[in-house]
């Protein structure tokens, strides 16, 4: 009888602990969603207010004809910014749903990274980035959703010139290490802020989210994509001449 009592008591305690853990996780997810919506609304408010103000001024005839084209251009740029925010929120939300299924195929990681560098090369040159590329000629094949993989790595490469001063050094490399494939992106720019998990939503390397620096979702999206691919991403100290490095690890 005593064994039964102990078993029932243990089972009841386990049930209470499990229920508490589930409730805590549910509360965390709800809080994260609330923060997501609040942050996006906050970031949308500034460009929306500008667009409304400029549109009203045009409608009331308060803008001189020679200034109208400049106002139209501002409204267009603001609308692009708002559209980018909405698309980013959609991507982040989609990656967090259980129904999201990446389309997996055999992908050459080297070719993907080369393509991303080529797509961003004009911006890299415009910001006077001294870029060193170390990608082997051989194929490094992983199982991945090519579209999502490009999105994840692109976020990191774009950050090199978007969140650092002009004229820095950067290195992008791909390598094999046993049964793993590594992508390493390092630069000599601003060091990462201490005490912050930059992969959390709405955290940026600049510690303050602004319209110029984006929503703070880019690295969170990258992390979710990498983890969906059963990979890992982390930050480490840069090698000689570099202040920081992002390292992505995939299984081959």
Read off the CATH number of the domain in which 49 is found: 1.10.287.130
The whole-angstrom distance between residue 61's C-alpha and the CA centroid of its chain comes to: 42
The total number of structural domains in the chain stands at 2
Please indicate, yes or no, whether residues 66 and 120 belong to a single structural domain of this protein. no
Per residue of the chain (252 residues), what is the pLDDT tens digit?
Answer: 566 666 556 666 766 677 777 677 666 655 655 555 665 666 677 778 888 888 888 889 888 889 889 889 888 888 887 887 777 667 766 666 666 677 899 999 999 999 999 999 999 999 999 999 999 999 999 999 998 899 899 989 999 998 899 999 999 999 998 899 999 999 999 888 877 778 876 555 544 344 344 556 778 888 988 998 999 999 998 888 899 999 999 998
Q: What is the pLDDT of residue 160?
A: 94
At residue 169, φ and ψ (nearest 5 deg) are -100, 150
- pTM of the full structure: 0.65
Strand pairing category for 105-108 and 130-134: unpaired
Q: How many C-beta neighbours within 10 Å does residue 251 have?
A: 12
Report if residue 34 sits inside a domain. yes
Q: What is the pLDDT of residue 7?
A: 58
Please indicate, yes or no, whether residues 114 and 210 belong to a single structural domain of this protein. yes
Report if residue 100 sits inside a domain. no
Token readout for 68 is 């109208």
Please indicate, yes or no, whether residues 132 and 245 belong to a single structural domain of this protein. yes
Provide the residue range defining the domain that includes 88.
2-95
Q: What is the pLDDT of residue 156?
A: 94
Q: What is the pLDDT of residue 219?
A: 87
Please indicate, yes or no, whether residues 212 and 160 belong to a single structural domain of this protein. yes
Please indicate, yes or no, whether residues 140 and 209 belong to a single structural domain of this protein. yes
Q: What is the pLDDT of residue 233?
A: 95
Tokens 């890299």 locate to: 124
Cα-Cα-Cα-Cα dihedral of 84, 36, 230, 197, to 10°? 100
Please indicate, yes or no, whether residues 87 and 176 belong to a single structural domain of this protein. no
* Domain end marker among 72, 95, 118: 95
Please indicate, yes or no, whether residues 80 and 111 belong to a single structural domain of this protein. no
* Domain end marker among 95, 128, 144: 95
Please indicate, yes or no, whether residues 118 and 71 belong to a single structural domain of this protein. no
Q: What is the pLDDT of residue 78?
A: 84
Please indicate, yes or no, whether residues 55 and 124 belong to a single structural domain of this protein. no
Instruction: Count Cβ atoms within 10 A of the Cβ of residue 222 and give its class: 0-12 exposed, 13-18 middle, 19 or more buried.
Output: buried
Tokens 């992508």 locate to: 183
Judge whether 213 and 204 are in contact, CB under 8 Å: yes
Report if residue 91 sits inside a domain. yes
Report if residue 21 sits inside a domain. yes
Please indicate, yes or no, whether residues 153 and 34 belong to a single structural domain of this protein. no
Tokens 């991945």 locate to: 144
* Domain end marker among 95, 119, 150: 95
Closest CA to 250 of 189, 202, 182: 182
DSSP labels, the chain: -HHHHHHHHHHHHHHHHHHHHHHHHHHHHHHHHHHHHHHHHHHHHHHHHHHHHHHHHHHTT-S-HHHHHHHHHHHHHHHHHHHHHHHHHHHHHHHTSTT-----EEEEHHHHHHHHHHHHHHHHHHTT-EEEEE--SS--EEEE-HHHHHHHHHHHHHHHHHSS-TT-EEEEEEEEETTEEEEEEEESSSPPPTT--TTSTT--TTSS--TTT--S-HHHHHHHHHHHTT-EEEEEE-STT-SEEEEEEEE-
Please indicate, yes or no, whether residues 111 and 90 belong to a single structural domain of this protein. no
Please indicate, yes or no, whether residues 90 and 115 belong to a single structural domain of this protein. no
Report if residue 195 sits inside a domain. yes
């Amino acid at each position: 009888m005593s064994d039964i009592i102990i078993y029932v008591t243990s089972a009841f305690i386990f049930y209470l602990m499990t229920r508490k853990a589930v409730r805590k996780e549910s509360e965390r997810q709800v809080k994260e969603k609330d923060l997501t919506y609040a942050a996006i609304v906050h970031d949308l408010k500034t460009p929306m207010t500008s667009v409304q103000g400029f549109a009203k001024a045009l409608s009331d005839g308060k803008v001189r004809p020679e200034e109208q084209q400049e106002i139209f251009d501002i409204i267009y740029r603001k609308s692009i910014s708002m559209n980018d925010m909405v698309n980013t929120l959609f991507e982040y939300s989609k990656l967090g749903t259980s129904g999201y299924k990446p389309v997996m195929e055999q992908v050459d990681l080297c070719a993907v990274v080369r393509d991303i560098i080529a797509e961003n090369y004009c911006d890299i040159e415009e910001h006077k980035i001294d870029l060193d590329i170390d990608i082997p000629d051989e194929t490094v094949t992983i199982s991945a959703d090519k579209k999502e993989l490009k999105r994840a790595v692109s976020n990191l490469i774009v950050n090199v010139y978007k969140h650092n001063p002009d004229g820095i050094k950067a290195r992008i490399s791909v390598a094999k290490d046993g049964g793993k494939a590594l992508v390493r992106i390092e630069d000599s720019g601003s060091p990462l802020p201490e005490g912050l998990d930059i992969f959390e939503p709405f955290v940026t390397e600049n510690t303050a989210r602004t319209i110029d620096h984006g929503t703070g979702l880019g690295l969170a999206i990258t992390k979710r994509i990498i983890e969906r691919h059963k990979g890992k991403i982390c930050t480490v100290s840069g090698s000689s001449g570099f202040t920081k490095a992002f390292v992505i690890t995939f299984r081959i």
